[in-house]
Structure 1
Amino acid sequence: MKILIKYWFFIVFICISNFTQAQQLQSLIDDAFANNPEIQKYELQYKIVAEKVNEVNNIPNTEFGVGYFVSEPETRTGAQRFKVSAKQMLPWFGTITLRENYVTSLADTKYQDIVIAKRKLMASVSQSYYNLYTNQAKQLVLSENVTLLKTYETMALTSVEVGKASAVDVLRLQMRQNDLQQLKEVLEQQFLSEQTYLNNLLNRENGVQITIIDSLNMPKEDLEINVENLSVHPELLKFDKLYHSITESELLNQKESSPMIGFGLDYINVEPRPDMSFSDNGKDIVMPMVSVSIPIFNKKYKSVTKQNELQQQEINYQKQERLNNLESLLDKAINERIAAKISYITALKNLKQAKDAEQILIKSYETGTINFNDVLDIQELQLKFQINQIEAVKNYYVQSTIINYLTD
């Protein structure tokens, strides 16, 4: 929940003018947490391991024995008829507590899987949402450009009538419209595929429509990145938990190499001797017993100790390797987010200049001279800059999602 709150403030900060839409993205993330089968799988795995605490909190079975003397041995006090015995072995002092500690440490490790899975799911939902926004924004831009080309087509038809343009210009404008319409239809199919993917993350019907934000603004200022938080990332904390579980495993191993103590009681029924009268005639035998189980051949425990040492060394290397990878991912995300803002600013400048060129062409048309090849070139450049602008915004938010995954 703490992660969600941080992420929520992040979204509100960068989409302050689109509060309702940001709220809608947060709702999608909450639904994913509640319904995603992978999260539910990890939660069940955690509950299973946590339940094992009750499994290990026990002692060995109590042994009961009953024997009947087929050939009754005669003693001074009478013949022995049958024997009943009970025996209970007990682990060394503190063994059960160490077992509980070990299983609890395994549960803590498994809980980190839930935290990591939720972070990854949050990033996946956000990135898919931004992909849908990008697709929708591109469709809108294509529709606007088709409308613009229709306006140019009307101008070209008028020019053809007065002999200032050829029918070829009209056909080229129409073919360009067809190309843009084709791109729009392809995007519509890609939108449906991405929507299905997002619905699957939320574990709901594929056809459920997802409302997408109308526009995303490039933030003027970036949120401060706390790089130090990377060192306590759940993916790294999991290695710490694993290391601790092996430490607990070794403590348990040392304790289990200790003796086991057994307590028992034998009861022997004695038949009274007939025709005799004396003290203790037919007196039953009760014999308390104490036993000790000593692991004299303890090579097994020494081997487990060595294995635990090697596993801890392996975990240290794995943690360092993952830390290096996460640092590389963070550095790449930061740089790519900076690059996205640069691309956005450049596309904004180019788009303004393309608009200015378009206005010049319109004025040329008013004076009676217009080159429709230039019209198509400017329109193509304008579309390119608009697409670049949309992609830059998407890349900024996608990289922000990655940074948030790594540092929050």
Structure 2
Amino acid sequence: MIIQPIRCWQFVFAIIFFSANAVKVYSQDLASYIEVAEENNTAIQAFDLNYEIAKEKINEVGGLSDTEISAAYFVSTPETRVGSQRARFSVKQMIPWFGTIAARENYQNALANTEYVNYVIAKRKLRLEVAQKYYELYRIQTTKKIVNESLDLLSKYEELALNAVEVGTASAVDFLKIQIRQNDLLAQLALLDEDLKAAKIQFNALLNIEVESAVQVADSLYLPAEDFESTITDISSNYEILNYDKLAESILQEELLNQRDAAPKLGIGLDYLPVSERTDMVVENNGKDIIMPMISVSVPLFTSKYKSISRQNEIKQAVINAQKSDRLNLLKGMYADAIRIRNSARIDFLKEAENLKQARNAEEILLKNYETGTIDFNEILDIQELQLRFNRNQVDAIMRYYKQVAIINYLTSK
């Protein structure tokens, strides 16, 4: 099925390019704006930095605890068979139970994965927001063109009315009505200019560039002959849902780490005690320094803390499952609504295209009557107003269509 173009311009700008499983409705210009936004947006940069911090923490948790080093000097030297002890130097290192360090790294890696998913979600939401504002800019800019075309058309009607007044086939009132209509369109145009200025500032602020920077928007967009295929089951692959899976994995790794922390901890150390030689007698090993290796075990006799953490992790898993189910249902509702609005937009576009065709036919009939001197300028203005409304409705339908397609892409594309 071929879609009829809007009067006075042709739809020549294709904004569909392909991904693995979905058609993305970003025009070439829009794609470049999205790239700029991803590079400049400070919120995205913050998510990226948080991900880098989370990755770096893997190195942090992979190390051992601080080594304890101590030194003591005997004010009153204890005497031994081989001499008096002058000082004591100790070094001690606690070592976690086997597999604890790996468990810490796995837990931190799981946390880093959640940060990465948050980063991806933020980028996808930014792309959606840029697309939505881009299509709003398109609506305002294209509506301005339509209003300007209506003003040009009114200028021709004004000339016809002036000629009709001169020959007595129309009254001055008809001429004044056309001028009133022109004033109304000029006011609409001024309001659209204000809307466009504000929309451009908002768009550039989203891209984090100079707010006065020029914005290039597609001259025209068209509805594709067919909608790209998507199903509600695709939502299960949405990164917002994947985020809950990553959170669940991090809690699983936290519980494995908790079990390792509940295990005993080993300690190894060494004491060194320098000994002074005895001068009052000669003995074997006189003045021999003392070297004493040590090993210790830290046993968690009271395990209520670890049991409590395990119970908390069970509750956390239940909470995440409930949140995931709730979010999935919400996204499904958003998907159904987006499909409805997208399909309604297509229906509205086709309806207005047919209405516009009939309005043009009526306009031609009325203008032919001008040759017989029976032109009715009230009907001319009514038809002209209808054409303006139908054209604007078509532009609104196009904007709504692509906004909803952008939402559908966000919800279903991987």
Shorter-chain TM-score range: over 0.9
1:313-324 equivalence runs, <5 A: 313-324=318-329
Partner amino acid for 2:80? Answer: T
**Structure whose residues are more often helix by fraction:** 1
> Among residues 140, 144, 158, which one is paired with 2:145 in the alignment?
140
Q: Per the alignment, in what secondary structure is the counterpart of residue 33 of structure 1?
A: helix
> Among residues 25, 28, 44, which one is paired with 1:23 in the alignment?
28
Name the residue aligned to 2:411. Answer: 406
Q: Per the alignment, in what secondary structure is the counterpart of residue 168 of structure 2?
A: coil
Q: Per the alignment, in what secondary structure is the counterpart of residue 88 of structure 1?
A: strand
Alpha-carbon separation, structure 1, partners of 2:378 and 2:293:
109
Q: TM-score normalized by structure 2? A: 0.93
Q: Per the alignment, in what secondary structure is the counterpart of residue 214 of structure 2?
A: coil
Q: Which moved more, 1:39-48 or 1:152-161?
A: 152-161
Q: Does 1:215 align with 2:220?
A: yes
Q: Per the alignment, in what secondary structure is the counterpart of residue 209 of structure 2?
A: coil
Alpha-carbon separation, structure 2, partners of 1:332 and 1:247:
35
Q: Does 1:74 align with 2:87?
A: no
What's the C-alpha RMSD, in Å, of the aligned pairs?
1.6
Deviation at 1:57, TM superposition (A): 1.3
Give deviations 1:40-79, integer Å, cap 9, x for gaps: 1110110011111111111111111211111122222222
> Among residues 338, 344, 347, which one is paired with 1:342 in the alignment?
347
Q: Per the alignment, in what secondary structure is the counterpart of residue 215 of structure 2?
A: coil
Q: Does 1:286 align with 2:291?
A: yes
Q: Which moved more, 1:266-275 or 1:327-336?
A: 266-275
Name the residue aligned to 1:59. Answer: 64
1:301-316 equivalence runs, <5 A: 301-316=306-321
Structure 2 gap ranges (5+) = 1-16
Name the residue aligned to 1:234. Answer: 239
Alpha-carbon separation, structure 1, partners of 2:263 and 2:318:
26
CA contact (8 A) 2:22 2:409 kept: no
Alpha-carbon separation, structure 2, partners of 1:318 and 1:27:
35
Q: Per the alignment, in what secondary structure is the counterpart of residue 70 of structure 1?
A: coil
Name the residue aligned to 2:19. Answer: 6
Q: Does 1:88 align with 2:96?
A: no
Name the residue aligned to 2:277. Answer: 272
Paired-residue identity, %: 49
Deviation at 1:381, TM superposition (A): 1.0
Alpha-carbon separation, structure 1, partners of 2:123 and 2:79:
75
Q: Per the alignment, in what secondary structure is the counterpart of residue 97 of structure 1?
A: helix
Structure 1's 5 and 92: CA in aligned 2 closer, same or farther, altered over 3 A? Answer: farther
Structure 1 gap ranges (5+) = 16-21
> Among residues 386, 393, 411, which one is paired with 1:381 in the alignment?
386
Aligned length: 397
CA contact (8 A) 1:128 1:198 kept: yes
Give deviations 1:375-408, integer Å, cap 9, x for gaps: 1211111111111111111111111111111111
CA contact (8 A) 1:216 1:393 kept: yes
CA contact (8 A) 1:95 1:252 kept: yes
Alpha-carbon separation, structure 1, partners of 2:386 and 2:113:
56
Name the residue aligned to 1:19. Answer: none
CA contact (8 A) 1:66 1:84 kept: yes
Q: Which moved more, 1:240-249 or 1:51-60?
A: 51-60
Partner amino acid for 2:247? Answer: L
Q: Per the alignment, in what secondary structure is the counterpart of residue 264 of structure 1?
A: strand
1:150-161 equivalence runs, <5 A: 150-161=155-166
Deviation at 1:113, TM superposition (A): 1.1
1:195-210 equivalence runs, <5 A: 195-210=200-215
Structure 1's 255 and 5: CA in aligned 2 closer, same or farther, altered over 3 A? Answer: farther
Deviation at 1:147, TM superposition (A): 1.1
Q: Does 1:124 align with 2:137?
A: no
Alpha-carbon separation, structure 2, partners of 1:206 and 1:10:
31
Q: Per the alignment, in what secondary structure is the counterpart of residue 134 of structure 1?
A: helix
> Among residues 181, 190, 200, which one is paired with 1:185 in the alignment?
190
Deviation at 1:9, TM superposition (A): 7.9
Name the residue aligned to 2:106. Answer: 101
Deviation at 1:240, TM superposition (A): 0.3
Give deviations 1:351-384, integer Å, cap 9, x for gaps: 0111111111101111101221111211111111
Deviation at 1:7, TM superposition (A): 9.1
Q: Per the alignment, in what secondary structure is the counterpart of residue 86 of structure 2?
A: strand
Deviation at 1:264, TM superposition (A): 1.3
CA contact (8 A) 2:342 2:405 kept: yes
Q: TM-score normalized by structure 1? A: 0.94
Structure 1's 166 and 155: CA in aligned 2 closer, same or farther, altered over 3 A? Answer: same
> Among residues 351, 354, 357, which one is paired with 1:352 in the alignment?
357
Alpha-carbon separation, structure 1, partners of 2:65 and 2:232:
51
Alpha-carbon separation, structure 2, partners of 1:361 and 1:141:
21
Deviation at 1:276, TM superposition (A): 1.3
